[in-house]
Structure 1
């Protein structure tokens, strides 16, 4: 059923109760709480936004469909002499002894000298609604002083959640994107050879109890919180549910959260599938993001500048040391000495005064380019315009 909306609206869903359907391994929450949603308000009279049209699923997430983090400690074997130095990483030697002992191999007294083993930390995200026997990706990172994990194989490693229970077991060859080449006088390293990934490297052994279909109220969360977007999303959902189920079911709670009552006679999965494909137009605040380290400047679509005059000129100061050697007069008792000589030259490029008036993004960019300065100069100009109160946007410095 396709419904064309006369008013463009935007969806955002946020959580107020702990996750239950997706499972939350960080606490002892074990039941779906009933949430009453008041949805008897009227549609808002907000102006139609100019942002891009997006589906609800692209700008909001279902709070109960959350991931859980897993972590484990293991060993990577089969390295070509790039493993941990057992003198600097004693925990690696202890792990080797414990592993061999579990395999029924007794080591004689004395230190192990293997250089093809590295201790690693294994991390993974356990997706919501995953079942036992499913496979998930894992990340492997060196814990000791190994120089590379290339060519290694992760030995069976249990992965635990914050509740201390084992939910998956990881094992397999490690894929590393970086490399290291070393000679007697030079070393070349590209990427990070001490970390890698194992696609589908872990098997889920224990599933998280899911109660998604038992929830009578759904909580959705906006990825980019905005009051206007949350209200427009609420209006879009209510417009759809009024025609589909005969009543309004959504209610905005704040700039990030929307609560939705699930109607009877339909499963939660099917209901979410219907509303997440509604098309809306997002609304975001005007923002300018500046990264001074790389000289990157990102200007949002709605950024505007009041008319302001800007002058920019670079002052260059050059200091040159030219010491002179002074010789003593003939037949004197003087000594040869060095006399300091410094030349200071100051030069300032011709500064031009330009008028900036940015009623829209295209005019603003054209005005900045007209000044003819480099990105670091534009960053300084934007900061000055903000201090003058002429930049009608948030300036974010990274």
Structure 2
């Protein structure tokens, strides 16, 4: 049975590194609280937490503001800074950061982030961030209260805006074995990955333990395992075809059908009933000197139209191209297509998973 699964592969091959990753070698999320200064009057305007942030920032330089003073912060904003620390990142390396307004700042354009720490989930400092923001949005306010907004000016990025101060320790060199995890769970793909590794290494060092994980036995030691991991990542494997799925986005009317969807013999008739109500009110004027009042007399016209919809059929095992061609031939709208697919699923004529988002 395993040989049959491995032989029924698609024609295209993919590198192992493109379908998953090694366990323990992942990015780590960093976050922190900071202050952006240098804004052109689009800041937080004296929000309490922003004021406290400014007082804490200036205190680093030996300047203490009296408690009674509440500085106007139209040119400063409190922000949340986020970043991702890649695996094997070493002190001194630079990483990108994303800066987002925390309060009511209208725009961060032209701002500079003051030096602040980035913390990991354990509360330790892993990087320090500072720099000038790059903003892709624009907001313009007029005196009459109208506003033009392009994208999101209250968030931006600082390329290379943080310096790594601490690396994250990994135990891949001391673990009893390496574990490779697939990004998409699939039993057939897991078997094919293990088989490809064993064929490339001329041994039985890899074993699929479930639909996601492949255990790889190798010698301990960082140098030996780095060499093995580099070899394994570049092995080409033929992933299994995905399950038949139809994805419907009810909000946008988008329908995506993958190539594995097949239709058993079925006949479909999809009609459209249109009801039109037209109002043509009449204004009735009273006769001169009659002391009457002008009134509006309603005049409604209802028209019911049912368009003829010829029945069409799907042959046994109709492919994706045939499904699209048939539905396009009858001029079905996205809404009609969703209704047809749901009916085919309920009738048992479509052997696919129907996902409605």
Secondary structure at the counterpart of residue 305 of structure 1:
coil
- TM superposition score normalised by structure 1: 0.83
Pair 1:365-2:324 in alignment:
yes
2:236: which partner in 1? 279
2:14–2:239: 8 Å Cα contact kept in structure 1? yes
Distance 1:183 1:332 in 2: 54
- Distance in 1 (alpha carbons) for counterparts of 2:24 and 2:281: 75
Shift of 1:156: 0.5
Structure 1 residues 290-312: Cα deviation after superposition (integer angstroms, max 9, x where no partner):
21222222211111111211222
Instruction: Tell me the residue number matched to 2:99.
Output: 140
Question: Match for residue 178 of structure 1?
Answer: 137
Pick closer, same or farther for the CA change 1:150–1:333 going to 2, 3 Å. closer
Aligned to 2:191: 231
The 8 Å contact of residues 159 and 169 in structure 1, kept in 2 or not, is answered as yes
Which position in structure 2 is the counterpart of 1:39?
A: none
Select which of 170, 188, 207 maps to 1:251: 207
Q: Distance in 2 between matches of 1:386 and 1:73?
A: 50
Task: Determine helix, strand or coil for the equivalent of 1:212.
Answer: coil
Which of these residues, 201, 210, 216, is aligned with residue 176 of structure 2?
A: 216
Cα separation, partners in 2 of 1:190 and 1:329, compared to 1, 3 Å: closer
Q: Distance in 1 between matches of 2:205 and 2:319?
A: 38
CA deviation digits over 1:111-156, x for unaligned, max 9?
A: 2113110100001111111111111111111000001111101001
Output the TM-score relative to the length of structure 2.
Answer: 0.92
Q: What secondary structure sits across from 1:392 in the alignment?
A: coil
1:307-346 CA distance string (max 9 Å, x none): 2112222222221222334456788776543333322112
Q: Matches of 1:70 and 1:97 in 2, distance apart?
A: 24
**3-state SS, counterpart of residue 54 of structure 2:** helix
Structure 2 contact 172–178 (Cα < 8 Å) conserved: no
Using the alignment, how far apart are the partners of 2:133 and 2:118 within structure 1? 16
* Partner residue in 2 for 1:348: 306
Aligned CA distance change for structure 1 residues 101 and 263 (closer, same or farther; 3 Å)? closer
Quote the Cα distance in structure 2 between the aligned partners of 1:296 and 1:74.
Answer: 40
Q: For 1:391, what is the secondary structure of its paired residue?
A: coil
- In the alignment, structure 1 residue 269 sits paired with structure 2 residue 226: yes
CA deviation after TM superposition for structure 1 residue 390, in Å:
1.1
Q: Specify every segment of 5 or more residues in structure 1 that has no aligned partner in the other structure, as ranges.
A: 1-41
Aligned residues: 351
Deviation at 1:45, TM superposition (A): 2.5
Asked if residue 308 in structure 1 is aligned to residue 238 in structure 2, the reply is no
TM-superposition CA deviations, 1:348-377 (whole Å, max 9, x none):
222121112353222222222222112222
Q: Which residue of 2 aligns with 1:128?
A: 87
How big is the shift at 1:187? Answer: 1.5
How many Å separate the matches in 2 of 1:179 and 1:125? 26
Q: How does 1:66-105 map to 2 (within 5 A)?
A: 66-86=26-46, 89-105=47-63
Matched residue of 1:202: which SS? strand
Give the Cα–Cα distance (whole angstroms) in 1 for the partners of residues 136 and 219 of structure 2.
49
Per-residue CA distance 1:64-84 (angstroms, 9 max, x = gap): 211111110000110111111
Q: Please give the secondary structure, in 2, of the residue aligned with 1:214.
A: coil
The residue that corresponds to 1:169 in the other structure is 128
Say if 1:78 and 1:117, in contact at 8 Å, map to a contact too. Answer: yes
Equivalent pair of 1:71/1:122 in contact (CA under 8 Å): yes
Q: Is the 8 A contact 1:159 1:166 kept in 2?
A: yes
SS at match of 2:128: strand
User: How far off is 1:193 after superposition?
Assistant: 0.7
